[in-house]
Amino acid sequence: TGLMDKLGIKLEEVKSSPLKASPSPFKPTNDDERTMVRKLILDSYDWFVGIVAERRKMTKPEALALADGSIFTGRQAVANKLVDAVGGETEAIDWLATKGVDAKLKVVEWKDAESGGFLFSKAMARTIGSALGLPDYGGDIIHELGADRLFLDGLVSVWHP
């Protein structure tokens, strides 16, 4: 909000209920908004722990004992029954063969698009920057700001004005 004030940008909200568009990056979070987000997080956490317990054949208390936010090495994940084995491409192909997948099936190496998608592509960044009167930095500022990390795998909260 400090930057918006310096640039003379004012935000006007029109919403149908108090928690719509909350939390907002344009104002501090209040207690009601914080409570709502916490409920979402706890519900998602409970859902995920339940899936891990079910799919990894654990009791819920066993899964909860691992669900403290820790990260694990591959060996630790095997010891904790979170994965079956650790290996590389050869081991993966061998495992797939045990599931009836042809071991000679072509392996395709997938590479993420450098642009991060249309919204955060370098061309789009240049266009937006130019419209705002900013010098051309080749769009790399999007990546330097970490906006390319918005394309995450997993449960994501999306805010859209």
How confident is the model at residue 115, as a pLDDT?
A: 47
Q: Tell me the average pLDDT of the chain.
A: 81
How confident is the model at residue 161, as a pLDDT?
A: 47
How confident is the model at residue 16, as a pLDDT?
A: 92
Distance CA 130, CA 119 (A): 15
Q: Give the model's confidence band at 61: pLDDT under 50 very low, under 70 low, under 90 confident, else very high.
A: very high
pLDDT at residue 104 is higher than 60: yes
The tens digit of pLDDT for each residue in 11-44 reads 888 889 999 888 888 888 999 999 999 999 999 9
* Terminal-to-terminal C-alpha distance of the chain: 15
Q: What percent of the chain is predicted at pLDDT more than 90?
A: 45
pTM (two decimals): 0.59
Q: For the residues 107-133, what does the mean pLDDT come to?
A: 64
The tens digit of pLDDT for each residue in 121-157 reads 666 666 666 666 666 655 455 555 555 555 555 555 5
Q: How many CA atoms lie within 13 A of 27 on its CB side?
A: 13
SS3 sequence of the chain: CHHHHHHCCCCCCCCCCCCCCCCCCCCCCCHHHHHHHHHHHHHHHHHHHHHHHHHCCCCHHHHHHHCCCCCCCHHHHHHCCCCCCCCCHHHHHHHHHHCCCCCCCCCCCCCCCCCCCCCCCHHHHHHHHHHCCCCCCCCHHHHHCCHHHHCCCCCCCCCCC
